[in-house]
Structure 1
């Protein structure tokens, strides 16, 4: 279970100031993050430590991270919003 303080901190770290990232990360942290297993929660926190330009490239599918953990999290977030 994620405590409210951690969730609030993650919410603010998910707000990147770039609309393309905010519309992906903010809903994800609110709606999905609390139910992730601890390993995926750690991957999400690791993702938040990345530079905005890298995140933008990965989420706009103009490139992929060399880190499999980060790429897994990018894919998880994109799968949530892209039609199958």
Structure 2
């Protein structure tokens, strides 16, 4: 049996998307005001522009961590035990 500590993909990718959204929030509300566009429409544009790359970078990072965990995997032996009280 191989034992290794593998990262979970979804939390990494969610954090990448959230960080992208926070970056979009900063850019949308700290930049100069445009009379033809609302702040919310600017936020929507930058959310797509920053959240998707954030998600992809986080996915790349988790793949690197996963590859590292495969290299550090250890072999272990597991034996089945029968316990009458557990049933």
TM beyond 0.5: no
TM-score between the two structures when normalised by the length of structure 1: 0.25
Structure (1/2) with the larger helix percentage = 1
TM-score between the two structures when normalised by the length of structure 2: 0.25
Larger gyration radius, structure 1 or structure 2? 2
